[in-house]
Amino acid sequence: MARRSRRKLVVAGAERALDAFKADVMRREGYAVDPNRPDDVKYEVARSLGIPLQPGGNGQLTTEMAGHIGGRIGGTMVREMIRLARERLAQHPPGRP
């Protein structure tokens, strides 16, 4: 199976801000995050779930296992984005200056 190319962000140059956001969110969830390598948090998440994710080839992982890792990270980030959006809307409702 061909490897999926890295997804591109809609906003050019947003990589740093998104990486910093991921690091902050996952740190608050109790994971040790290297701010210089926030994507490496996936290995700690995998360990906490008992999934044998290793740098390099992971052909032994099932789609379900990979989904558990990505879901823990992505789901946590999405919940935090929704919380922040609600907070901002409460402070500045649409249609009000």
- Tens place of pLDDT per residue across the chain (97 aa): 444 556 677 888 888 888 889 999 999 999 988 888 888 899 999 999 999 998 888 888 999 999 999 999 999 999 999 999 999 999 987 776 6
What backbone torsions phi and psi does residue 34 show, to the nearest 5 degrees?
A: -85, 115
- Mention every residue, 6+ apart, whose C-beta is less than 8 A from residue 88: none
Which pLDDT score, from 0 to 100, does residue 58 have? 85
Cα separation, 52 vs 65, in Å, equals 9
Which pLDDT score, from 0 to 100, does residue 37 have? 87
Q: Look at residues 56, 22, 54 and name the one whose alpha carbon lies nearest to residue 38.
A: 22
Which pLDDT score, from 0 to 100, does residue 80 have? 95
Cα separation, 79 vs 77, in Å, equals 6
Give the domain ranges of the chain.
15-54+61-91
Cα separation, 86 vs 76, in Å, equals 16
Which pLDDT score, from 0 to 100, does residue 12 have? 81
